[in-house]
Structure 1
C-alpha cells in the first residue's frame, strides 16, 4: 500500500490525512484523464458503524483502539497500489488505482469481513468482538469525472449502505451490480438476474451472500486478533 510522508500522515492511524488524500486523488484523476483510454480507478468511503456508541461505552481510548485496528486491516488488505486515508473522525477513504468498481466492491467486501472478525482489546482489557463497517464506492469515468463527483457518488452509496442496515458495501450506481462477463458466463448472469427478480433481492446482495459463504468455506475471513 502507498504510504504517506510524515507531513501527509494522520497522527493516530499513520494513513494519509484528508488534505493529502485529496491532493493524491487530484493527481490520480489527472493521470487517468491523460491516458489514451482513460484508465479506470475507484474511490471508496468507509464508515465505522455506530462509532458514537463505541465511544460512549468504551471511552475515547476504546474508540482510538478501534480506529487503529481498522487502519491496520486497511493497510493489510487494500492492496499494494491502494492509497488509504483517515478521511475524518471514524471515516476512511481509499483510492484503488486501475480498478473498476466491481473489483473494488469485492476488495471492500474482504475488508468488511475481516473487520467484522477482528477482536479489539481496550486498554482496560475490555473485548470488542468486531468492527462493523459500511462502505460506498464510485469509479472513474463511469460514475464521475471530477473529484467532487466521485466523492459525492461514494458518499451517496455509503448512505444507502447505512439506510439498508449497515455492515455492507454499496455501489454508486444503484443496486444492480453487473459483473464483467469475462468473470461470469452469460448463463450465470441470466440465472442471477432471474433469481434477483424471484426473490426481490438485488444482484449485489445475492453476490454478497455468495461471497460471504465462499470466504467462510475457505477460511479467508478468519483473521487473527
Structure 2
C-alpha cells in the first residue's frame, strides 16, 4: 500500500482537484476552499490495488478516517456486506475515530482505488489548549454530519424489510438459463428450507414484476437480453427495478469475471458477485452467508419493532413516524428525491364509537390499519398518528404517484366489509385523505404535516370520503 504525505506537497498538482471533487459531497459543502485545502494537507494519499484491504477487522492500531477520491471500497463485518463507497467524497472510518477500540469492519478495494487517510492525531485536542482550531471543528462537523446521514439511511433500510414471522423469506432467481436456475434453486432448497423462490426466465420478465412483489434476496445473471437495445439500457432498467425492492442483490454470472463489469454492477446496487464457472462450495458458502445475515438482522429488527409499534393496530407508533420523517428530510439534500405524506381520518368515527362501543371502535381502527399495511409499497411507512388518524410516508414518491396511492387506499376502505358500516350517517364506513409532498408543499416536517392536515380538513368540509392534495388547496385559495 503506497502512501504519499500531502503536507510535503505544498504545490501538489492534484491537491486542488481533490478538493474540488470532494467539495461537491454534502459533508464538505460548507467548508471554505482555503480551509479544505489545509485539511487535505494533513492527510496521506493512499493508492490501493484491487482486493487490497485498507482496514482489517480486529486491527488495534490507532484508527484513521478515509475519504474516497477514486474507485470503489466495500465495507464488511464478520463476512457480511455493510456498505459500499463509490463516489468521490464518501467517508469511512469515522466511527472508529469516535470509539477507538479494535476495528469492527474490513474495508477492501473492489477496484484500483485512491483515498485520503487522516491519522488519529488530527482528531485530538490537547487539554492545555485555550482554543479549538478551526480545522478540528471542521472535522467534527464532518463526523457529525456523516453519522447523522448514516443513521437516517439505516432507518430507511430497516423499514424496507418485512416485520414479524408470518411471511417466509422470498428469493428471486433471474437467469435466462433454466439449468443455472435449477442449480441455484437446488442449492437454496437444501440450505434454506423455509424460504420461497420465484424464478424469472429473463431480466425483462423480472423488470416487469409489480413493485408490490417483495423479495429478501435477488440472485441474477445480467447477461444481455434481446428485449433491450444495448447493455447500458438493460443495466439501467435492472438497476431501477432492483432499487424498488430494497434488498441484497447477488450477481452470479460469467459477466462477473471482468473487473469493469463488476464495477458497473456495483453501481447498479449489487452487493456480492460470483463468476462462472464456480464451485459448488463457493455457491453454498455465499448463499449461507446471506442466510445468516438475514436471520441476524431479523432478530435485531424484531426487538426494535416491538418498541416502535402501536399495540392496537400493529402499525408504527408516533415516535417511529417522527424518526422516519426526520430521516427522509436529512437525506433529501443528497438524494434530491421528493417524498410524500398522506394523512387519513376515519369519517364519523365518534358516531360509530358512541353507537357500538369502544371495543367495536378498536375493530374499525385495526381494520383500517390492516388495509394501509397491505396496500403500501415496500419501504413505505404506515403509522398511527393518534386516535382515529393515520399517516403514510412515501419515500421517493412525487405528487401524482402519492395521489394515486391515496385514492387506492380510499377505495380500499370504502369497499372493506366492516361490522355495522351501514349504520353510519353516510350509509358506509369511509375515510378522508390529505396529501402533501416535500419539498414542493413544505420546507420542513412541521409544515408538511400542517399542509396535509389542512388538506384533510378541507376534505371533511367537502363531504368526506375524498382525497385532497396540497395543490388543490392552492387552487381553492386562488
Using the size of structure 2 for normalisation, the TM-score is 0.34
Q: Which has the higher strand share?
A: 2
3-state SS of the aligned residue for 1:138? strand
Q: Which of 410, 417, 420 is residue 112 of structure 1 equivalent to?
A: 410
Using the size of structure 1 for normalisation, the TM-score is 0.72
The equivalent residue for 2:329 is 29
The equivalent residue for 2:315 is 15
Query: RMSD of the alignment, in Å?
Result: 1.8
Any residues of structure 2 matched to 1:115-130 within 5 Å, and which? Answer: 115-121=413-419, 127-129=420-422, 130=428
The equivalent residue for 2:438 is 140
Q: Which has the higher contact order (CA 8 A, sep 6+)?
A: 1
- Quote how far apart the aligned CAs of 1:33 are: 2.2
- CA deviation map 1:192-217 (0-9, x unaligned): xxxxxxxxxx9xxxxxxxxxxxxxxx
- Quote how far apart the aligned CAs of 1:81 are: 2.0
* Residue-pair matches, total: 171
3-state SS of the aligned residue for 1:23? helix
Paired with 1:76 and 1:114, the residues of 2 have a C-alpha distance of 10
Asked if 1 retains the 8 angstrom alpha-carbon contact of 2:383 and 2:391, the reply is yes
3-state SS of the aligned residue for 1:174? helix
Q: Give the 4+ runs in structure 1 shifted more than 4 A.
A: 1-4
- CA deviation map 1:113-133 (0-9, x unaligned): 110111123xxxxx3355300
The equivalent residue for 1:91 is 389
3-state SS of the aligned residue for 1:173? helix
Paired with 2:378 and 2:429, the residues of 1 have a C-alpha distance of 23
Gaps of 5+ in 2: 1-158, 164-303, 423-427
3-state SS of the aligned residue for 2:471? coil
Asked if 1 retains the 8 angstrom alpha-carbon contact of 2:455 and 2:473, the reply is no
3-state SS of the aligned residue for 1:134? strand
Asked if 2 retains the 8 angstrom alpha-carbon contact of 1:70 and 1:131, the reply is no
Paired with 1:9 and 1:131, the residues of 2 have a C-alpha distance of 25
- CA deviation map 1:138-196 (0-9, x unaligned): 1011111210011011011111101100000100122589xxxxxxxxxxxxxxxxxxx
The equivalent residue for 1:61 is 359
Is 2:449 aligned against 1:151? yes
- CA deviation map 1:54-74 (0-9, x unaligned): 101110011101000010100
